Structure 1
Amino acid sequence: MRGFYVFLLAVLAHRTAVVGDEHDHKYKDKEEVVLWMNTVGPYHNRQETYTYFSLPFCKGPKTTISHYHETLGEALQGVELEFSGLDIEFKENVPQKQYCEIELTENVYKAFVYAIKNHYWYQMYVDDLPVWGIVGEVDASNGREVDYYMWRLKKFDIGYNDGQIVDVNLTSDAKVKLVPGDKISMTYQVHWKPSPMPFRRRYEKYLDSSFFQHRIHWFSIFNSFMMVIFLVGLVSMILMRTLRKDYARYNKDDDVDDMERDLGDEYGWKQVHGDVFRPVGNRILLASLIGTGYHLATVTFFVIIFTIFGHLYTERGSILSTVIFVYAATSPVNGYFGGSLYARQGGQLWIKQMICGALVLPAMVSSTALVINFIAIYYHASRAIPFTSVLAILAICLFIILPLSLIGTIVGRNVAGQPDNPCRVNTVPRPIPEKKWFMEPIVIIFLGGVLPFGSIFIEMYFIFTSFWAYKIYFVYGFMLLVFAIVITVTVCVTIVCTYFLLNSEDYRWQWTSFLSAASTSIYVYFYSIYYFFFKTKMYGLFQTTFYFGYMALFSIMLGLLCGTVGYVGTSMFVKKIYSTVKID
């Protein structure tokens, strides 16, 4: 399994990589250890990051290193590794040593003052272990004027165990007041110490177990599980009991004459049997969205499984790289289910549908990322996606996703493309009678997402906090369980909503079932707005655009996944009830 992940990252790497110590994490005495400087930015705006040397820091005297590597996932996440220039060797202590000097010219002074005012901190990496430090601090204790101090000493305490680095700690010390025209000597110190910690557990110190395994997290899982039991029981007892009564009433047809039938003994969902399987409007769009939803469900499941067993959260960019790889590799799923559904609906423009299904989600992601990218370029932020990464993504879409989607579409049309409806479709559509306002499709659509959102509400808080507030999400077992819960809740709720719709003699169930399940995303996006204003301290155009842009994408993807689950479950339900009842 570990070899699979190494292969996965190698496939996605778009820069030449030379295998070195940082890849196998094994060192010999006095072997080179690289200190990578990554990004710097305001503490409260996690995504507003800049390259470390965009601030006028100075580099160490060392200019060459033995290796450099970066994956596609790292590039897309704004990882900008630059060599620090500091000479560090395995198990070799370094006493306090000056490595460069910063002259506080007017521009340099203003840059550091701005960074300290906005609580800038920076990130570094030693053997793939993240290290954080703060640029400086503000001192307003004298009451008259504000003084700005910067830390000029970086003290590294590095723990090792059997030729491997298992712990890195940074202490910022020796603060110095910023005075225009002065010179600041930047120094560093390295202390190596043996550690009993095994290598496989070295990442545990970064994981906030008390936060993610809080009692409220366990309670939310239990609460969602009880909701599943309630809804399954509701569908099993109330709905099936109602259907049995309907079956009993409809089967009385053998005991009554034609005059009684003509007087309207039949009513409810059986009345629309000649229209319920009528081809839906905008079938290309529906088939494309359903195929994309199948695709997203497959990707979500596999990525969660890979992360649980492979601990991908411990490697920079590994989760995003895995998502891209799995999404491209599973493209036939999109083509198969989207193409087969379109064929069953009687569609003829299957190539158009295939292209739409394969590119609808990449197009949405790319357009959103393009807007954010322009803003990132304007801000000179590290989140700006490199042109080579854009070319790599374009190549994946054109040369992997499209061909595999084509294969899946051809297979789907030939294997599962024949209509299998249990009832004939009438030539003339039946008029839809008037009904109460709460039975209108638009009302059902908006109400259908309430319970699925309630089942994932607490988990959304933990996921948002992880992504937007410097916490590493690692409880993917919880996520897998919540994934199964939201699928079950969505299917049950959508079936109930569809039954009420059909019972009011409205046969427009296909789009209604999809949109009622997909409306969960609307509530998630509303919650993200609340989270932004009441749970974070984010500010600025770039961070705001980044947040709401990518939260919109997240909500849309969740909506596609839930909508597909709701549609598929409802489709099976509708075929079941209309295949069982006796149709004259």
Structure 2
Amino acid sequence: MRLNILCFLILLYFTICNGDEHNHIYKKGEEVVVWMNTVGPLYNRQETYPYYQLPFCHGDNPVEHHHETLGEALQGMDLINSGIPMKYLVPVDNQVFCKQVLRHDDIGLLKYAVQGQYWYTMFVDDLPISGFVGMIENPEDPENIQYYLHTHKEFIIEYNQDRIIAVMLRPGDNPILLDSKQPTIEIEFTYSVEWQPTAIKFEDRFTRLLESDFFEHQVHWLSIFSSFMMVLFLTGLVSVILLRTIKNDYARYDREEATADFDRDFGDDWGWKQVHGDVFRQPDRLMLLSAFMGTGNQLVILSAVVIIYAMLGDLYVERATILTATIFLYALTSAVAGYTSARYYTHYGGKDWVRNILLTAGVWPGAVACIGGYINTIAIFYSSSKAIPFPVMIAILAIWLFLCFPLTLLGAIIGRNWGSKRIDFPCRVNPIPRPIPEKQWYLEPSSIMIFGGVLPFASIFIEIYFIFTSFWTYRIYYVYGFMFLVFLILLIVCACVSIVSTYFLLNSEDHRWHWVSFWTCASTAGYVYAYSVYYFFYKTKMTGLFQTSFYFGYTALFSLGLFFMLGSVGHFSASLFVRRIYQNVKID
């Protein structure tokens, strides 16, 4: 025991006394590691490859791979020590750190990279840096076009006492001509380091990397305001329905109750009361709807927690922290999916609860595995750094087997045995379904479901543009306060749209509200995916099978998540509305 304590104190001593990139504290002359990450085309930013897959050399230090978190591995980060002997506060002027002999194939590969505008990413003290592999001269003259390779890296590093505040990278003024006519080219890779003091605090060093002119533009505020006005309009419309229209319906039905008309419940009048014997009928494909509801509720809670966590914690300053946190928070919230699904399934008389649990636990992970597996196959074919290593796949599978599934099962047991105590429906269910009368085309379920997603999509349209631009162009998204407001607005709009559409459907004497209320809001995901198609062709310059597969695959996964979330919010709101209005009606 004493030996363990002694070892811990020794380790703590070295941690405090020796500065490194983990505590971001350095002493003069201490090593500052330059980590090379990936390289790839400028306009296909997800098509990345390990930096040393191109014929670059590294310094005399042994090749060392950075310890990766789960999120870094999933994002395709491949951090390798470049071997550049950088020392804290030690200036360097045009010093050689490695030499490389380029053969004919190497020259051709580098020319291809320069022609494709390949750029690389690297990290110094966790600060991201990027630069181009080379440059092109006379690009418009095919006969005289020339390709040059940047062989010099000039680092300008700002520091504040013992902390690194900013790192800038400039290419050298003497790039090397890549001449395919030469059998070999001997190249020296050099670097320079200039240290400049600054008064910027360490806590504010990421501020200059945030593009406030883009994310905090007036258009962003205008979109929030317009979405808020939409919420006021919809909540006002719902209030009118609940306080006036429904009140008038109650008064009319009460007058009918006062008469001794034997047939008053058999269709002498029209309206939502006429379907009281079918409105609480078990919905079609109950098990599937239950699984969708459970998955959607889990994703809603997960999204809210992740947004608040990112908003309070400034997670953008750490590599892949948000992705890593999302994975484990998803696992911890799996009990929500099991509870919601089992409770809903049992409430409507479902019996095969084992299959219900399996479907709930596998519907979202299965979709992720199918889409991610296809993209990963493409990445392996291209030898991209985005290919997920096999050990990481095993780790993800273990998280699902030993954390997600047991928590889903636990939540299902609680929801089935305690959460779903038989709550009698306000109205008894007739043994024979009531015929659904013909109605106007805009009151058909298909029309309601298609047009129901327009308003929710309109409320998030601008924010979706900012999110897409941030993710697909590697801009740091930091305005999580905006995202949280838009998220709340989206939920409110979906709830209002679902209530209004459900009222119109029931008032046309159509009792098929369960799936309609789900699809009415879930159809928003279809509009988002349609917008992603427009964004791909008109807002980006992406090309190639890999980038296209990556873009449309993960956008489909994002849209599918919206499908589950918004569908569950719509159905939950409609359920409360339906139960509320039928509780206040006296039915013999």
Report the TM-score when normalising by structure 2: 0.94
Please give the alpha-carbon distance, in whole angstroms, between the structure 1 residues aligned to 2:242 and 2:166: 58
Q: CA deviation at 1:29?
A: 2.3
Q: CA deviation at 1:95?
A: 2.3
Please give the alpha-carbon distance, in whole angstroms, between the structure 1 residues aligned to 2:267 and 2:312: 60
Matched letter for residue 339 of structure 1: A
Q: CA deviation at 1:581?
A: 1.4
Maintained 8 Å contact 1:250/1:266: no
Q: Is 2:220 the partner of 1:217?
A: yes
Residue equivalent to 1:178: 178
Please give the alpha-carbon distance, in whole angstroms, between the structure 2 residues aligned to 1:261 and 1:499: 21
Aligned positions of 1:76-155 closer than 5 A = 76-140=74-138, 143=141, 144-155=143-154
Matched letter for residue 422 of structure 1: P
Residue equivalent to 1:313: 316
Q: CA deviation at 1:424?
A: 1.0
Over the residues paired in the alignment, what is the CA RMSD in angstroms? 1.5
Residue equivalent to 1:536: 540
Q: CA deviation at 1:142?
A: 9.4
SS at match of 2:150: strand
Residue equivalent to 1:344: 347
Maintained 8 Å contact 2:42/2:118: yes
Residue equivalent to 1:430: 434
Matched letter for residue 126 of structure 1: V
Maintained 8 Å contact 1:36/1:81: yes
Which of 63, 66, 69 aligns to 1:68? It is 66
Residue equivalent to 1:8: none
SS at match of 2:264: helix
Residue equivalent to 2:50: 51
Aligned positions of 1:543-582 closer than 5 A = 543-582=547-586
Q: CA deviation at 1:189?
A: 1.1
Shift in CA distance, 246/441, structure 1 to aligned 2, threshold 3 Å? same
Which of 358, 365, 368 aligns to 1:365? It is 368
For residues 499-521 of structure 1, the C-alpha deviation after alignment (integer angstroms, 9 at most, x for no partner) is 11101111110011001110000
SS at match of 1:188: strand
Please give the alpha-carbon distance, in whole angstroms, between the structure 2 residues aligned to 1:235 and 1:259: 33
Residue equivalent to 1:324: 327
Residue equivalent to 1:296: 299
Shift in CA distance, 260/389, structure 1 to aligned 2, threshold 3 Å? closer
Please give the alpha-carbon distance, in whole angstroms, between the structure 1 residues aligned to 2:221 and 2:451: 27
Where has structure 1 moved over 3 Å in runs of 4 or more?
141-144, 262-266
SS at match of 1:338: helix
Q: CA deviation at 1:365?
A: 0.5
Q: CA deviation at 1:28?
A: 2.2
For residues 524-567 of structure 1, the C-alpha deviation after alignment (integer angstroms, 9 at most, x for no partner) is 00000000000000000000000000000000101111001100
Shift in CA distance, 452/402, structure 1 to aligned 2, threshold 3 Å? same
SS at match of 1:168: strand
Please give the alpha-carbon distance, in whole angstroms, between the structure 1 residues aligned to 2:524 and 2:499: 15
Q: CA deviation at 1:221?
A: 0.3
Matched letter for residue 151 of structure 1: H
Shift in CA distance, 470/262, structure 1 to aligned 2, threshold 3 Å? closer
Please give the alpha-carbon distance, in whole angstroms, between the structure 2 residues aligned to 1:503 and 1:249: 14
Please give the alpha-carbon distance, in whole angstroms, between the structure 2 residues aligned to 1:85 and 1:438: 67
For residues 226-274 of structure 1, the C-alpha deviation after alignment (integer angstroms, 9 at most, x for no partner) is 0000000011124532111110110013431225627844321101111
Residue equivalent to 2:287: 284
Matched letter for residue 175 of structure 1: P
Residue equivalent to 2:381: 378
Please give the alpha-carbon distance, in whole angstroms, between the structure 1 residues aligned to 2:391 and 2:151: 36
Please give the alpha-carbon distance, in whole angstroms, between the structure 2 residues aligned to 1:357 and 1:95: 61
Identity fraction in percent? 52
Maintained 8 Å contact 2:267/2:274: no
For residues 405-436 of structure 1, the C-alpha deviation after alignment (integer angstroms, 9 at most, x for no partner) is 11111111122213422111111211212222
Residue equivalent to 1:479: 483
Shift in CA distance, 254/499, structure 1 to aligned 2, threshold 3 Å? closer
Count of aligned pairs between the two proteins:
565
Please give the alpha-carbon distance, in whole angstroms, between the structure 2 residues aligned to 1:263 and 1:314: 65
Please give the alpha-carbon distance, in whole angstroms, between the structure 2 residues aligned to 1:519 and 1:20: 53
Q: CA deviation at 1:103?
A: 2.2
Maintained 8 Å contact 1:345/1:419: no
Please give the alpha-carbon distance, in whole angstroms, between the structure 1 residues aligned to 2:206 and 2:69: 20
Q: Is 2:153 the partner of 1:158?
A: no
Please give the alpha-carbon distance, in whole angstroms, between the structure 2 residues aligned to 1:385 and 1:264: 62
Q: Is 2:469 the partner of 1:465?
A: yes
Q: Is 2:337 the partner of 1:334?
A: yes
Matched letter for residue 546 of structure 1: F
Please give the alpha-carbon distance, in whole angstroms, between the structure 2 residues aligned to 1:492 and 1:124: 47
Report the TM-score when normalising by structure 1: 0.94
Please give the alpha-carbon distance, in whole angstroms, between the structure 2 residues aligned to 1:91 and 1:302: 41
Residue equivalent to 1:230: 233
Please give the alpha-carbon distance, in whole angstroms, between the structure 1 residues aligned to 2:40 and 2:108: 16
Matched letter for residue 177 of structure 2: K
Q: CA deviation at 1:475?
A: 0.3
More displaced stretch, 237-246 vs 401-410: 237-246
Which of 400, 405, 411 aligns to 2:414? It is 411
Please give the alpha-carbon distance, in whole angstroms, between the structure 2 residues aligned to 1:163 and 1:256: 88
